[in-house]
Amino acid sequence: MSFSLEPALSRLKASIAPNKAFGALTLIFVVSYLWITRHAGLRQITDSASYERIAAAPIGFDALFENKRPPLYPLIIRLCGNHLHIVVGLQILAYFAAWIFLAWTFYRPLRKARRPIGAALLTASTFYAALYPDFAGWTMLIMTESLSLSALVLSVALIIRAALYRRGRDTLLAAAICGANTLLRDANAYLALFFVLPIAILVMQGLVRYRIFILAVLLLAASAWFSNWSSDHVDHTAMRSRWVYPMLDTIGRRILPDAAATQYFAAHGMPLSAAVLGMRGEFAYQGRYAYRLFVVDPTLKDFRDWLAASGKSTYLRYLVSHPKIVVHDVWQDRADLFQAFGYRQDAYPDTRYAPDLPADQALAYDTTLPPRIPLIIAYLVGGIGSAALCLAAALRRDRQSLSLFALSLALYAIIPLFALVVELGDCMENARHAVMIPALAVLAALAVVFFALSTPSPLRLAVPGPLGHS
């Protein structure tokens, strides 16, 4: 019996030949990334040390879930044998895999629809966005931003695939990745809950079954619940739960400097001793009552007791009863929340919180490539574009197109919701915590362009016939 590789080689050639353009663009993307980061090396900032310390400690529940850090990143460092260069290598590979998978999600259907120019241009645009230093620069740092961004890109790609191919498994896989992402950053727990929006669009438009929707929602809800539970139930009485540190930032920087807010909190039991007032204007790492002293200072015992018993509930009631203050805070910090904020992830770009590092410590990222397109374009395309195309599809009763554009609009709708979480969850380094917001804007814009290219005459308003037919 003879064995020949010719059939397998023929099939391989047949699959490669139509995708040469995608292969070339992928190669350009990888080479461009390597060129841009050719002078960059592994970088660490202040927060990196805490991840490394937790990773080096004996594995145990308390060690993983206290100390202000979610557990997954320290576990990854631990599994890499505490070799940080391996961690950076994994971050780069995950980043490549996520963006290449997203680009393939766009390219393949458009090529099959005989739209090669649109496929090539959208693929190039996807890789262009991936080269933005605001996103790609995080791959070199021992921080959670890079893996969180990669998980977000993968989740969006899978949601799009679920809409295109009506695959329940893609929906569940997207939910699973969102769930795992909650163990990287506490704010991602709310991002997981917000991802119910695009999944709800899938089921409402009949693209996935209800049982898939229920399973996905249960998975996202369980992940979000566990993240919040673990942030609140480890060594609670010793003030080592993860929510305490950002709450101290908020009280020191937002509540105590405002007389009306201070009186509201005092009316709800917060003591106003000289020690508490001494925290006015300070972040949790600053001043006489910095966190390491706060947890043991006897003059703050009453405040610690109140914070443990009523601190979070008082803050939530305050936000609900003062919506104008919420809107004002978001508007005041709009630049930090909605703009990609710079190239120097070594130094916190918001100079109100930390000074720039010396030039020889800056992240060596060649900003000449790519030239940056203002992100306002992504917000306009993702938001206004999705809404306009949804309206056009509804007017012509094209249910298939409506479901796709509604999906891109649902992705865009996550942006203001997540902005509220970032703004109200902490008041320090909002620009860094908000890095997912410009990424969501870019992803929503890419999605709506892809759906427009996939839909014949997306702006045609004439009613073609019965609902669901074009």
- The crossing angle, in degrees rounded to 10, of helices 145-165 and 168-181 is 170
When pLDDT is averaged across residues 288-294 and rounded to a whole number, the result is 66
When pLDDT is averaged across residues 214-221 and rounded to a whole number, the result is 93
With cut-offs at 50, 70 and 90, classify the pLDDT of residue 426: confident
Is there a single domain that holds both residue 267 and residue 290? Answer: yes
90-128 confidence digits (pLDDT tens): 999 999 999 999 999 999 988 888 888 889 999 999 999
How would DSSP label each residue in 67-82? TT--SHHHHHHHHTTT
Residue 435 domain flag: yes
Cα distance between residue 440 and residue 433, in whole Å: 13
Cα distance between residue 248 and residue 295, in whole Å: 11
Residue 141, classed as helix, strand or coil, is strand
Q: What is the pTM of this model?
A: 0.85
Is there a single domain that holds both residue 204 and residue 305? Answer: no
Residue 422 domain flag: yes
Residue 192 domain flag: yes
Is there a single domain that holds both residue 315 and residue 350? Answer: no
Count of the separate structural domains present in the chain: 2
Residue 463 domain flag: no
Is there a single domain that holds both residue 225 and residue 83? Answer: yes
301-360 confidence digits (pLDDT tens): 888 888 888 888 899 999 999 898 888 888 888 877 887 554 344 444 333 333 343 333
Residue 370 domain flag: yes
Is there a single domain that holds both residue 111 and residue 221? Answer: yes
Q: What is the pLDDT of residue 63?
A: 55
What average pLDDT does the structure give for the chain? 79
Is there a single domain that holds both residue 283 and residue 197? Answer: no
Segments forming the whole domain that contains residue 443: 55-233+346-355+365-454
Q: What letter would DSSP give residue 357?
A: P
Residue 118 domain flag: yes
Task: Choose from 83-87, 146-150, 272-276, 387-391 the range with maximum mean pLDDT.
Answer: 146-150
Residue 35 domain flag: no
Is there a single domain that holds both residue 191 and residue 214? Answer: yes
Is there a single domain that holds both residue 260 and residue 295? Answer: yes
Is there a single domain that holds both residue 87 and residue 215? Answer: yes
Is there a single domain that holds both residue 78 and residue 143? Answer: yes
Cα distance between residue 211 and residue 233, in whole Å: 32
With cut-offs at 50, 70 and 90, classify the pLDDT of residue 200: very high
When pLDDT is averaged across residues 409-434 and rounded to a whole number, the result is 86
Is there a single domain that holds both residue 174 and residue 268? Answer: no
Residue 1 domain flag: no
Is there a single domain that holds both residue 79 and residue 192? Answer: yes
Quote the tokens at residue 203: 């089921």
